[in-house]
Structure 1
Amino acid sequence: LWTFVAEARFIPSGSMEPTLQIEDRLIVDKLRYRFQQPQRGDVVLFIPTEGLKGQDLTGAFIQRIVGLPGETVTLQDGQVFVDGEPLSEPYVLADSDALEAAPNTWMAADVGIPEVIPPGHYFVLGDNRNNSYDSRFWGYVPGELLIGQATQRFWPVERMGAID
């Protein structure tokens, strides 16, 4: 029953800092998206997309939904625009506070060419934009690859609580 309803996960990288820290332990609600559509701002766990397969990456990814089906998302100078309007993102790690998530050979990219997100797909980004491997690099996440929404942190105890 536990694995059908929810599952525990840990955070292996800094791509979601400051929201999620390396080695945080989370509860992922696996039923939520059976009853409601994902929303902008949801922190989601998902199976790697076709763009990630064959890159020797294993396990699920966790990132934040910033673009919904039918919307147009662009990134310019670090600012996300949805349908031409700037997106307020108080959870994003500021450039001056950037932390190294992992050694990498890729750079955080701007997405300057407007493109409509296809039906049933989502544009996801890590909160630590300078060190996140996300939709800027491998495209949209199909809804059927969403495992669930990260809703609660249960470790460390001093940071226990809801995930925003």
Structure 2
Amino acid sequence: MKEFFKNWGVFLIAVALLVVLRLFVVVTVSVKGHSMDPTLADGQKLVTFQLSSIDRFDIITTQEPDELDKIAVKRVIGIPGDKVEMKDDVLSINGEVVDEPYLKEFKEAFAKDKLQTEYKYNQSFQAVADRALTFTNDFSYEVPEGKYFVLGDNRLISKDSRIFGFVDESMIKGEVFVRYWPLKDIEWLN
């Protein structure tokens, strides 16, 4: 038996450690849909870290409050205690204007042709964009304790806290930290 552990012990420990990491710390997910365009695209593969503390602007995976069996990828905009407001496409958190550089590409496309070129793959998205006056509709929310306010980066079509409400801390599955597929798009996130 000593000979077995001498020869295979390190390998078995490494395998056990990988299994524990995979089950309880690091989880892979696939992006489904277009709510995080252009930051994340449909079909991309991500790795999340389940033991992260969550902060503003982190990209996370979470259960959707109205469909608990669905996992969504969203950006945290408001943390517990925050007052988040959107007025004329300008985000304010606790009274301070906040820049959202990750929206620049789509905001410019919206200003150019209301995203009609970008949304050519979906007529209903084109119709929503055509009717929109701003890239992000105005809103104002106070985030309760133990809750988070999340949005998709593709604000015109994203199903997020504006629709399903605040995300409870217990629903958050992890923080996205790397996109690993497709290989040409490998990138550290957050």
Is the TM value for this pair above 0.5? Answer: yes
Shift of 1:95: 5.6
Q: Of 73, 98, 101, which residue of structure 2 is paired with 1:90?
A: 101
Partners in 1 of 2:84 and 2:108 — Cα distance? 20
2:55 alignment counterpart:
39
| 8 Å Cα contact 2:85-2:92 kept in structure 1 | yes
The CA RMSD measured in Å over matched residues stands at 2.3
Shift of 1:76: 1.4
2:147 alignment counterpart:
121
| 8 Å Cα contact 1:70-1:116 kept in structure 2 | yes
| 8 Å Cα contact 1:24-1:153 kept in structure 2 | yes
2:185 alignment counterpart:
159
| 8 Å Cα contact 2:64-2:164 kept in structure 1 | no
2:9 alignment counterpart:
none
TM-score (norm 1): 0.83
Partners in 1 of 2:70 and 2:143 — Cα distance? 25
Q: Of 50, 56, 64, which residue of structure 2 is paired with 1:30?
A: 50
Partners in 2 of 1:161 and 1:141 — Cα distance? 26
**CA separation of 1:65/1:15 partners in 2, compared to 1, >3 Å: closer, same or farther?**
same
TM-score (norm 2): 0.72
Q: Which runs of 5+ in 1 are unaligned?
A: none
Q: Of 20, 34, 39, which residue of structure 2 is paired with 1:19?
A: 39
Query: Which one has more relative contact order, counting CA pairs under 8 Å at least 6 apart?
Result: 1
Q: Percent identity?
A: 29
Amino acid paired to 1:41: F
Shift of 1:31: 1.8
What are the superposed Cα offsets for residues 26-47 of structure 1, whole Å, 9 maximum, x if unpaired?
A: 0011122xxx3x1111001001
Partners in 2 of 1:45 and 1:84 — Cα distance? 27
Partners in 2 of 1:140 and 1:90 — Cα distance? 23
Question: Radius of gyration: which is bigger?
Answer: 2
2:81 alignment counterpart:
70
Shift of 1:109: 3.6
The structure in which a higher percent of residues are helix is 2
What are the superposed Cα offsets for residues 38-90 of structure 1, whole Å, 9 maximum, x if unpaired?
A: 111100100111xx23xxx8520110001111110111122221112221110
2:158 alignment counterpart:
132
| Runs of at least 4 residues off by over 3 Å | 97-109
Partners in 1 of 2:167 and 2:70 — Cα distance? 15
Shift of 1:110: 2.1
Amino acid paired to 1:155: W
Please tell me whether residue 59 in structure 1 is matched to residue 67 in structure 2. Answer: no
